[in-house]
Structure 1
Amino acid sequence: MELVWLEDLSALAEYGSFVRAAEARHVTQPAFSRRVRSLENWMGVQLFVRTPQGATLTDAGRQILPSAQEAARRLYSMRNEAQEVAGLAARSLHFAATHSLSFTFFPKWLRSAEKGAPIEAVQLHSDSMAVCEQMLIHGQVQFLLCHRHPDVPPLLPPDQFISKKVGEDVLVPLAGASANFDTSAAAMPYLAYTHESGLGRIVAHRLHGKDAYPHLKPLFSSHLAAVLMSMALENKGIAWLPGSLTEQEVADGRLVRALDKSRDIPLEIHLTRPAGPISRSAEEFWATLVDC
């Protein structure tokens, strides 16, 4: 049994595709397939049903997935705790955060969270929501900082993870100041988030089946809000962008509201951790946080 096999199991369950899961795990697809097969051989059962459309968990796979994820988290936590006790590592806090929050919210929030008692060491891993979730599931980080919306349930199982609200934000439909879009037109150029983006899940939920929204014609997509902002600044279309990211561009008049305020999407910023034990320093940090 190897730890990477448990992580591969979780990744393939998440993406449902050997190609996409292998990309997320930074390994070739043949090597990834061999590792999944090795896990199945060790278990003595088939964990995935393979079809041309992708891979889905068997009943056995669904049964063991939560235990496999918990086992991976506990192994990483055990290693971190042992290194701290032995004095081989600083009492580090490991965060995963989506790109937009890494650049705008995280530094200022962490300073306020320290409450005058500096943290010994912090490691911040910035990536898409999908990758950040996998890092938390695998135990590679203790905390996940991300946007949430009350009407969009998180993909992380609520019985395995808990969260605290640590801030607020808003998604605003914005376009470049020189853009000339007819908001009553049958189709409007739309800059969309990909499925890897947590903001994309929220926007898709808000727009799905809503006749009140104009018909949007996707012209470009990315999981990075900063990339969509750059495209909006080039007058390529309308994008729902975080207020925390676009504050300066709006103040300078380079980005302007494309739709009225009723189309804004209020957001919460949450810090999420495993429900089970984490390292002593991480537990102490969590205990100091207060829900906003």
Structure 2
Amino acid sequence: MELKWLEDFVMLANTASFSRAAQARNVTQSAFSRRIKQLENWLGVTLISRASLPAALTPEGRAFLPVAQETIRTFHSVRATLAASAAPRERQLTFAALHTLTVTMLPDWLTSVKAALPDLVTTLLPDRGGIEANVDALLSGDVDLFLTYAHPLVPVLLDPEQFDWLHLGEETVLPVTAPRLLPSVAQGRGLCGPEPGGLGLLDAAIEQGTAVPYLDYGLASFFGTALQQIFFEKKPFQRRNMHQNTISAELRIFALKGWGLCWLPESLIREDLEQGTLVRASADPGWDLKTEIRLYRSRNHEKRVIDELWSVAKKVGNPARSPAAHTNGRA
């Protein structure tokens, strides 16, 4: 059964004329008559008495007319409702992002993007706990975009033939500690917090050959993977793991309370450094982890709004750090 058959029938009931109804429906009279007959065959009853002029409804036709009218109204109402709900979704983008970037960069960056795309609606997929899980979200199509750190020591396993990326800025991850460690942490270890103008905690631990209390990201996180590679490349030092968490913002709290050494993004701890509640743990800049910030998308997407955002993102970059974005040459 087709909706146009019901609309033909209602039009015929209103005009009482096959020729006028066919003209109103913009079809030939023979095609119109066939469609009325198809409706009657589907219902198994005769709706129109063809023996009279003007055309008259049979008793079954009169009984079916309000049903047909209500069915047409329902279909059009449902279509309008669905179209209205689909329109915002066409302007909606779902992001996966490493947790720290949702705190340090994403709000300001999206504010700049929405200045150019005011009707954009964004959704953030909850962090799945590691870079591989977030990559999988993009691969599976659960998200439209993936915001992440990038570093040569941590390969992002996305095929460059299928995925584009933009360079949005940089982030430096610094080894820091509280000015004084908790007594229970430092006790018996020959360590105290760094003295102003003196050796940092990391430098002191390396010089003394002492294990440094360490706040660990684990190997499932981006920073944890990158730091392990750096530890192998530089002079080894002893670490005594005090606490593990994949999220920088939560490790920062433990660092502030004096639990030990932690590598934290500079943008996350800028005020802590300015206020002296956290201090650098080493005078050697070789311990700094320099990363870039990238935005990834699939090249096979079907949303026009992704292209619109991509174009805006090239101009916006990271509003806090970079005047413009750079591409991988495929955008």
TM-score range, shorter chain: 0.5 to 0.7
Which segment is superposed worse, 259-268 or 276-285? 276-285
What residue is the counterpart of 1:249 in the other structure?
272
Higher mean alpha-carbon deviation, 158-167 vs 236-245, is at 158-167
Aligned positions, number: 210
Q: Which residue of 2 aligns with 1:79?
A: none
Q: 1:263: which partner in 2?
A: 287
**Structure 1 residues 108, 277: closer, same or farther in 2, change over 3 A?**
same
Q: Take 1:152 and 1:262, find their aligned partners in 2: how far apart are those partners? A: 18
- Structure 1: runs of 5+ lacking an equivalent: 1-81
- Tell me the SS of whatever aligns to 2:258: coil
Q: Counterpart of 2:147?
A: 145
State the one-letter code of the partner of 1:176. Answer: A
**TM-score, normalising length from structure 1?**
0.66
Q: How do residues 1-292 of structure 1 correspond to structure 2 at under 5 angstroms?
A: 86-87=86-87, 89-127=89-127, 128=129, 129-179=131-181, 180=192, 181=201, 182-183=204-205, 184-186=207-209, 187-211=211-235, 213-260=236-283, 261-290=285-314, 291-292=325-326
The alpha-carbon distance between structure 1 residues 278 and 241, as it changes in their structure 2 partners (threshold 3 A), is farther
The aligned amino acid for 1:175 is: T
> Aligned partner of 1:138: which letter?
S
Give the direction of change, closer, same or farther, for the CA distance of 1:116–1:160 in structure 2 (3 Å limit).
closer
Q: CA deviation at 1:283?
A: 2.0
Distance 1:84 1:199, change over 3 A: farther
Q: Please say if residues 84 and 90 of structure 1, whose CA atoms lie closer than 8 Å, have aligned partners that are also in contact.
A: no
1:173-221 Cα shifts (integer Å, max 9, x gaps): 000121324332322111111222112122122222422x533232321
1:105 partner amino acid: M
CA contact (8 A) 2:116 2:312 kept: no
Distance 2:293 2:301 in 1: 23
SS in 2 for 1:230: helix
Amino acid at match of 2:154: V
RMSD of the TM alignment (CA)? 2.3
Aligned partners of 2:149 and 2:292 also within 8 Å: yes
C-alpha distance in 1 between matches for 2:160 and 2:229: 19
The one-letter amino acid paired with 1:108 is D
Provide the rounded CA distance (Å) in 1 between the counterparts of 2:84 and 2:241. 49
Amino acid at match of 1:231: F
SS in 1 for 2:103: helix
Deviation per residue, 1:62-120 (Å, 9 max, x gap)? xxxxxxxxxxxxxxxxxxxx979953635101111111110111011112233433143
Which one has the largest radius of gyration?
Answer: 2
1:144–1:258 Cα change, 3 Å = same
Counterpart of 1:199 in 2: which secondary structure? helix
Q: Secondary structure at the match of 1:196?
A: coil
Quote how far apart the aligned CAs of 1:257 are: 0.4
Q: 1:251 to 1:275 in 2, by over 3 A?
A: same
Change (3 A) 1:149 1:83: farther
The answer to whether the Cα contact below 8 Å between 1:91 and 1:121 also exists between their aligned partners in 2 is: yes
The one-letter amino acid paired with 1:91 is R
| SS state at 1:89 partner | helix
Percentage of matched positions with identical amino acids: 30
Q: How far did residue 254 of structure 1 move? A: 0.6
Q: Match of 1:95, SS? A: strand
8 Å Cα contact 1:191-1:228 kept in structure 2:
yes
Q: Is the 8 A contact 2:166 2:294 kept in 1?
A: yes
